[in-house]
């Protein structure tokens, strides 16, 4: 076979190898030693199609999914169908939401304020103005708040009693579209890169995953299940392997 023929065989073999790799469930890159290689090591248990709701952040309260949407509405949804159960009125435009076992914490859009409200009535229980920040998604775990600060592109670990910022964890990506802490891992969505980062509690990258949708927004974790929103009007229910 001539040189051109050998080149064609080599190109065909290379393309065939890449196609095989792209078909694997977990690997998305062809170099297993690449530390930045992405993984899709989760199962999509359900995809909930929402009606006129564009998620910005999510929280799971045990009996429903709470969503702050692009219009700053605070909505309780049926976690199986996505149907709206009720809406809470807020004096401030909401950017993020989390559940602390008692009430809902929301971040106030384009500000450094966080507010705790009654999950039943929406009445404000507490309001804190932190020393700095432009807040988005928020999570609660183990008596601490984890707040996405777009001003510094970092996650702030905050004492909800005093509002004191105890720790600042840098975002390895470019945008903060979702944040959650599960007691061991800090999870961040960066929808500009379609990535989910899994970090240690100190902020070191452990694994990078591809988001299930094109425009991830909001994370909530409960009992080994992760809920992620998508700005195309969906919520994904995931189980990681």
Q: Each residue of 42-58: pLDDT tens digit?
A: 999 999 999 999 999 99
CA distance 199 to 94: 26
pLDDT at 91: 85
CATH class of the region 41-240: mainly beta
Query: What mean pLDDT do residues 153-163 have?
Result: 97
> Can you tell me the distance from the alpha carbon of 79 to that of 65, in angstroms, rounded to the nearest whole number?
5
pTM for the model: 0.84
Quick one: pLDDT at residue 1?
47
Q: Alpha-carbon Rg of the chain, whole angstroms? A: 20
Task: Pull the structure tokens for residue 79.
Answer: 């976690």
In the chain, what are the domain boundaries?
1-34, 41-240
pLDDT mean over 196-200: 97
Count of Cβ atoms closer than 10 Å to residue 129 Cβ? 12
């Amino acid at each position: 076979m001539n040189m051109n023929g050998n080149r064609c065989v080599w190109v065909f073999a290379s393309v065939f190898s890449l196609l095989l790799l792209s078909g694997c469930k977990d690997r998305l890159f062809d170099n297993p030693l690449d530390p930045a290689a992405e993984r899709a090591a989760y199962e999509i248990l359900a995809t909930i199609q929402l009606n006129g709701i564009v998620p910005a952040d999510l929280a799971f309260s045990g009996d429903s999914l709470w969503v702050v949407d692009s219009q700053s509405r605070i909505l309780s949804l049926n976690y199986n169908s996505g149907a709206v159960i009720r809406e809470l009125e807020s004096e401030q435009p909401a950017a993020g939401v989390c559940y602390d076992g008692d009430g809902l914490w929301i971040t106030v859009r384009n500000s450094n304020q966080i507010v705790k409200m009654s999950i039943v009535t929406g009445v404000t229980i507490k309001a804190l103005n932190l020393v700095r920040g432009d807040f988005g998604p928020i999570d609660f775990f183990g008596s601490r708040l984890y707040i996405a600060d777009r001003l510094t592109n970092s996650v702030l670990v905050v004492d909800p009693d005093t509002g004191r910022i105890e720790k600042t964890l840098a975002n390895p990506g470019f945008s903060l579209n979702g944040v959650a802490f599960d007691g061991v891992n800090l999870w961040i969505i960066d929808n500009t890169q379609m990535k989910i980062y899994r970090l240690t509690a100190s902020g070191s990258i452990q694994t990078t995953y591809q988001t299930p949708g094109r425009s991830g927004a909001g994370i909530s974790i409960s009992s080994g299940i992760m809920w992620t929103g998508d700005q195309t009007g969906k919520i994904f229910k995931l189980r990681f392997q």
